[in-house]
Amino acid sequence: MPTSDPLEILLASNRWATQNIIDACENLPDEQFHQRFEMGPGSLHNTLNHILASMQYWADVLAERAPSVLESQQRTPEQMSRLLTQIADDLESSAHKHPNDGRVARTTSDRSYDLARGGVLTHVTTHGMHHRAQCLNMLRHVGVDPLPASSVHEWMNMVDATETSS
């Protein structure tokens, strides 16, 4: 069902676009999935792992629990797809547990932060967009054509739009 809620759009399109990138990697040989590039975390595998780890970290912050460490282990696209489902569900649940105009604390080894929940949600949902753009470039370099849909605009047209009669 179409939505106009910016948070719902960001959460849904973030999940959808990340899944599309993972799906585009499913038939790649291991060498291409792990091929090194001079951008981002350096490979499709590492970049997708980074996106997932970041989503989990910020879901933990929003849920006000100790951040879990998503080990940067070797994963297949199929394993990443299952992990994305778990993490995106957790992120959405964490996003909806408290008002978006509230505050959340984040503590690192040397500092503490008081952050706006809306800012955290905006960051985590747009952070993946930059890394998905890197993935699109990597996919282009390994010969994937057509490239997977990944923008909010594409999500609106492909998933969220309703047809109107003229």
CATH, residue 127: 1.20.120.450
Domain assignment present for residue 124? The answer is yes
User: What is the DSSP annotation of the chain?
Assistant: -----HHHHHHHHHHHHHHHHHHHHTTS-HHHHT---SSTTSSHHHHHHHHHHHHHHHHHHHTTSPPP--------HHHHHHHHHHHHHHHHHHHHSS-TTSEEEEE-SS-EEEEEHHHHHHHHHHHHHHHHHHHHHHHHHTT-SSPPP-SHHHHIIIII------
Confidence of residue 160 (pLDDT cuts 50, 70, 90): confident
Mean pLDDT of 52-70: 91
Q: Is position 153 within any domain?
A: no
The answer, yes or no, to whether residue 72 has pLDDT greater than 80, is no
Query: Is the pLDDT assigned to residue 56 strictly greater than 90?
Result: yes
pLDDT at residue 75 greater than cutoff 90: yes
Is residue 99 in a domain? Answer: yes
Q: Is residue 126 part of a domain?
A: yes
What domain range includes position 57? Answer: 6-142
Percent of the chain exceeding pLDDT 90 equals 73
pLDDT of residue 162: 65
Q: What is the pLDDT, as a whole number, of residue 165?
A: 55
155 in a structural domain = no
What's the pTM?
Answer: 0.91
pLDDT band at 156 (very low <50, low <70, confident <90, very high): confident
Query: Is the predicted pLDDT of residue 161 greater than 80, yes or no?
Result: no
The pLDDT score that the predictor gives to residue 7 is 92
Number of folded domains that form the chain: 1
